[in-house]
A and B are shown apart, each in its own frame.
Chain A
Amino acid sequence: MSELLPALLIVLPIVGATLPLGVGLLRENVGWSIAALVLSVEGGLAAWLATAVYGGEGAARIVHVLGGETFGRRGATENFVVGIELVADAFSGLMVLLVAGVALGVLAFARRGGPRGNAFYSGYLLLTGGLMGLFLTGDLFNLFVFLEIVGLTTYGLVASDRDAESAVAALKYLVIGTTGASLYLLGVGYLFLRTGALNMVDVSRSLAGEPEWIDGALYGDPLVLAAFGFIAVGLMTKAAIYPLHTWQPDAYAAAPDAVTVYISALVSTGGAYAFARVTWTVFTPEFFAVGQNARILELVIVLACLSVVLGSGLAAMQRRLKRLFAYSSVSQFGLIVIGVCVAVHPAGGTQATQLAVYGVVIHLLGHGLIKGGLFATVGALAHGTGARRVREYAGLAKRRPFLSGSIAVLGLAIVGVPPTIGFLGKWYLAVGALNTELWPVIFVVFASTLLTLLYVARLLETLYFDGPAEGAAPAAGPEPEGPGAPGGADDAVMTDGAGSLSYGMIALAVSAAVLTVLLGFAGSALTDATQPIAQAVIEAAPEVGADG
Chain B
Amino acid sequence: MSPNRTLATTARVLKQLSHDPRSIVLLLVAPSLLVGLFAWLFDTQPGVFDRYGGPLLALFPFILMFVITSITTLRERRSGTLERLMSTTMNKPDFIIGYGVAFGFMATLQAVVTVTFAVVLCGLSVEGPVWQLGLVAVVDAILGTALGLFASAFARTEFQAVQFMPLFVFPQIILGGLFMPREDMPDALETISDWLPLSYAIDAINAVTAGDSGADLFIPLGVVGAFALAALVLASLTLRRKTP
Q: Are these two chains actual partners, yes or no? A: no
Chain A residues with a Cβ under 8 A of chain B: none
Chain B residues with a Cβ under 8 A of chain A: none
